[in-house]
Amino acid sequence: MSKLGLVIGREYSSRVKKKSFIILTILVPLIMGALGALALWFGMEEEKHLRVLVDDPADLCGGKIFIGQDENPPATFYFTDHVEDDDFRYSEVYKDYDVKVNIDPDVFTNRTILGYFREQPKASTNLYIQKKITGRLQEYFAEDEGVSAAKFREILKPYEFTLLDVDDDKDKEGEMKAQMVGIGFSVMIFVFLIVYAGQVMRSVLEEKTSRVVEIIVSSVKPFELMLGKIVAIGLVGLTQFAIWIILLSVIMISIQGMFTAQIDAETVQNIAAGAMDPEMMEMMNNDNAMLIYQQINWGTLIVMFLIYFLLGYVLYASLFAIVGAASDSETDTQQLMIPVMLPLMFVYFISFSIIGNVDGLAALWGSYIPFSSPIIMLQRVATGTVDIYEVVISVLLLVGTCLLTVYLAGKVYRTGILMYGKKASWKEIIKWLRH
Amino acid sequence: MEMLRVENIVKQYAGHKALDDISIQTKQGEIFGLLGPNGAGKTSLIRIINQITGPDAGKIYLEGKELQRSDIERIGYLPEERGLYKKMKVRDQAMYFARLKGLSKKDAKKKLDYWFEKFEITSWYDKKVEELSKGMAQKIQFIITVLHEPKLLILDEPFSGFDPINTELIKREILQLKKDGASIMLSTHNMNSVEEICDSIALINKSKLLVSGNLQDVKSRFKSDTYAIQFKGMMFGFANALFASYSLEHSEQIDEHRAIAHVKLLKGNTLNDLLKTVMPVVEIEAVNEVIPTMNDIFIQAVTEDGLPQQKGGQDE
């Protein structure tokens, strides 16, 4: 086996055998799966059909609520002329009703509807009740004005409203939603860059502080040692991804298997919506979900994620290796890390500022500049607004920069690792680069 | 037979010269002491021989051939700043280093067993280094250095940090390795061990070579025509008799009537002349030539850097 192979082998096996690695790799999908299952379970627990007593002395609802054909209503409405709130609360007669809603005869002027529940209904049911009753009141008002309920419902039907770029007639709203998916990937890359590149730094520092490094570099070129480290930790990262994806898929499939017998897709959607505020819930309908699935080319996105993660990792890992080699203790690294972390943090914030403006200058430049392209480009890829040649240029620039930083890091590394007992300043590091 | 030849090595770091035209030569099967105060450039030279860093100028030859990258497998190096992976098991670690030095898995295992049995430490195999004491870890480091049976062993301050028992053990092993045919270069501050085990030395100060050669030759070069004379009689009379042709360097009263005086010959006088001068005054009991210790030579050469030029300088 070549020496580089030996270095990679040692670094890789020592990492994947660590308890922390095993725990993190197995625990993360398990926790995520458990949380998902828990959410589903709670959702099912709450899937209780409510009986709503509508106290409507002025008969403003006309004693009925319109229910659509395809609806799977979480509540049924019952009407009464008048029931005292205290009777609802204490009387055995009304104990089968879960919610009581009072329609004030003056509701059209005071615009207030008050109700009581026995057990807090979940947000989506609450919203359903509100929507049905206010809708019915509006219909009543319309009928009063001579517009039939059916006509009024037609009038109220929402319009699909879209603003398009005059020079580019693609659908911006869908694009923004797709970009949110891209942002998810950006955040993942950002976190993984810091985690794995940070591991390279700590590994360099560990060999330096334990003074084992001089024994190793008497057999292996410092550059090989550094390269071995970067490759091995990158492989550890990929191993972790692979295990996560496999475990998560297995967990997802088994959870689905456990629950599908009892719930249909719509329930799942309701449960998901229950966790969001009403406005978000409005947005989340089947059309949106389909849009995201259809607009985003997941295969391309995942391949791009891997390419940009690996290249970004090599870039930042070599910078972190410089910091590790120039430091003499963990505390030293914090100071030296600032110039490396600052651009990364800046890029991270930029990636949020370009939401909804993925064709803007910031996004354009950000997706070319190698220090930011691993984080920014994925958003453009997710929205599908990027041409293949742009990706090629961006990747080539990134590869070139990676080669340069690895080369420069090698120069700093070979001097830095043998400097014991003091922290180098950036001024000295630049001197080593020139030497 | 020549083992290592260092020719006109120059190494410049940002801001200072670490090695200035250093040339030394070691023979096969000898123990060569590389001496010098802290910061003299010893470690820089050792790192260049180990190909950890490269020289700015000059060449290095191993057994007559210019040093190649593959030669690192023929060299064993114990650095001054040494350590091990704390979380790694002793066996895995030793195997890793052995394989980096080019040994096959099978050979590495066989040789590891040999050394661990020799030092009676096979029970440490599955221990992590962090569970070992400092002395135990040092033994492992020594084993790692010699495991691949290097032809040239380079030991940078091998005795620093070792307790007296381990120091003796390592000294014994070094002599055994020499007997088995290895050539050894060691850098040390421990002048007693230099006297004990070194065949040749080189003394470096402020990045320059001050003196080098066979230990006995170097010592005789640093002789200063000084004799220790033990006598019975009055020191006063003895000192007066010396007058201007000799210099009384040092004297010491043994008892009421006897003393030892260190006398340096001046103006081309011989020992015979000296004896003739003092014999009428005192009764001579013993005469010995004063041979400088390595400690004396080290201190003299370094504090009066340049003084031995007329003697040691010719070696450069």
Binary contact (A215, B77; C-beta < 8 A): yes
Q: What is the mean pLDDT of residues A389-399?
A: 94
pLDDT value for A43:
65
Nearest-by-Cβ selection for A215 from B47, B53, B97: B97
In three-state secondary structure terms, A166 is: coil
Nearest-by-CA chain B residue for A430: B14
Structural domains of chain A ordered from first start = 3-41+171-434 (no CATH), 50-156 (3.40.190.10)
| Res. A269: pLDDT tops 60 | no
Binary contact (B144, A216; C-beta < 8 A): no
| Res. A196: pLDDT tops 70 | yes
Nearest-by-Cβ selection for B72 from A218, A420, A431: A218
pLDDT value for B6:
93
The span from the CA of A310 to the CA of A230, in Å, is 10
Nearest-by-Cβ selection for A212 from B14, B50, B83: B83
Confidence of residue B307 (pLDDT cuts 50, 70, 90): very low
Distances (CA, A) of A35 to A28, A31, A248, A252, A266: 11, 6, 12, 11, 20
Binary contact (A220, B100; C-beta < 8 A): yes
Q: What is the mean pLDDT of residues A246-263?
A: 73
| Res. B156: pLDDT tops 60 | yes
pLDDT value for B30:
93
Q: What are the tens digits of pLDDT across the range A276-298?
A: 444 444 444 445 555 555 566 77
Q: What are the two backbone dihedrals, phi and then psi, of residue A393, each rounded to the nearest 5 degrees?
A: -60, -45
Q: What is the mean pLDDT of residues B194-207?
A: 89
Question: What is the total residue count of chain B?
Answer: 316
pLDDT value for A335:
86
pLDDT value for A69:
65
Residue carrying structure tokens 């019975």:
B232
Confidence of residue B231 (pLDDT cuts 50, 70, 90): very high
pLDDT value for A271:
46
Pairing state between β B57-62 and B65-66: antiparallel
Residues of chain B found within 8 Å of residue A206, distances taken between Cβ atoms: 85
Binary contact (A215, B87; C-beta < 8 A): no
Task: Between B255 and A296, name the one with better pLDDT.
Answer: B255
What is chain A's alpha carbon radius of gyration, rounded to the nearest angstrom? 30
pLDDT value for B316:
27
| Res. A275: pLDDT tops 50 | no
| Separation in Å, CA of B228 to nearest CA in chain A | 47
The span from the CA of B189 to the CA of B159, in Å, is 9
- Cβ-count burial A335-365 (b if 16+ within 10 Å, e if not): ebbeebbeebeebbebbeebeeebbeeebbe
Q: Cα dihedral angle (A64, A66, A67, A73), rounded to 10 degrees?
A: -50
Q: What are the tens digits of pLDDT across the range A312-327?
A: 999 999 999 999 999 9
Nearest-by-CA chain B residue for A209: B83
Q: What are the tens digits of pLDDT across the range A413-428?
A: 988 888 887 888 888 8
| Res. A357: pLDDT tops 80 | no
> Which tokens sit at B229?
């004379």
pLDDT value for A276:
42
Q: What are the two backbone dihedrals, phi and then psi, of residue A343, each rounded to the nearest 5 degrees?
A: -60, -35
B145 neighbors B155 (Cβ within 8 angstroms)? yes
Residues of chain A found within 8 Å of residue B82, distances taken between Cβ atoms: 211-212, 214-215
pLDDT value for A46:
55
ipTM metric: 0.80
Nearest-by-Cβ selection for B81 from A14, A214, A432: A214
Binary contact (A215, B101; C-beta < 8 A): no
> Which tokens sit at A192?
């993984």
Binary contact (B14, A435; C-beta < 8 A): yes
pLDDT value for B237:
87
Q: What is the mean pLDDT of residues B9-19?
A: 86
| Res. A58: pLDDT tops 90 | no
In three-state secondary structure terms, B75 is: strand
In three-state secondary structure terms, A382 is: helix
pLDDT value for A172:
62
pLDDT value for A260:
58
Structural domains of chain B ordered from first start = 2-220 (3.40.50.300), 224-289 (3.30.70.60)
Q: What are the tens digits of pLDDT across the range A133-189?
A: 988 888 888 888 888 888 888 888 888 777 776 766 566 666 677 777 788 888 888
The span from the CA of A146 to the CA of A231, in Å, is 76
Binary contact (B84, A212; C-beta < 8 A): yes
Residue carrying structure tokens 């809708």:
A135
Residues of chain A found within 8 Å of residue B13, distances taken between Cβ atoms: 435
Mean pLDDT of chain B: 87
Residues of chain A found within 8 Å of residue B79, distances taken between Cβ atoms: 211, 214-215, 218
Task: Between A282 and A81, name the one with better pLDDT.
Answer: A81
**Residues of chain B contacting A, Cβ within 8 Å:** 13-14, 47, 50-53, 72, 75, 77-79, 81-88, 96-97, 99-101, 141, 144
pLDDT value for A259:
63
For an interface test with A, the pick among B44, B51, B100 (most A C-beta atoms closer than 10 Å) comes out as B100
pLDDT value for A75:
87
| Separation in Å, CA of A415 to nearest CA in chain B | 9
Q: How many CB pairs under 8 A join A and B?
A: 63
The listed range with the strongest mean pLDDT (A339-353, A396-410, B39-53) is: A396-410
| Separation in Å, CA of A203 to nearest CA in chain B | 11
| Res. B194: pLDDT tops 50 | yes
Q: What are the two backbone dihedrals, phi and then psi, of residue B152, each rounded to the nearest 5 degrees?
A: -120, 125
Helices A222-260 + A298-326 axis angle, to 10: 140
| Res. A258: pLDDT tops 90 | no
Q: What is the mean pLDDT of residues A336-364?
A: 85
How many percent of chain B have pLDDT more than 70? 96
Q: What is the mean pLDDT of residues A82-111?
A: 89
Nearest-by-CA chain B residue for A419: B81
| Res. A350: pLDDT tops 90 | no
Binary contact (A6, B99; C-beta < 8 A): yes
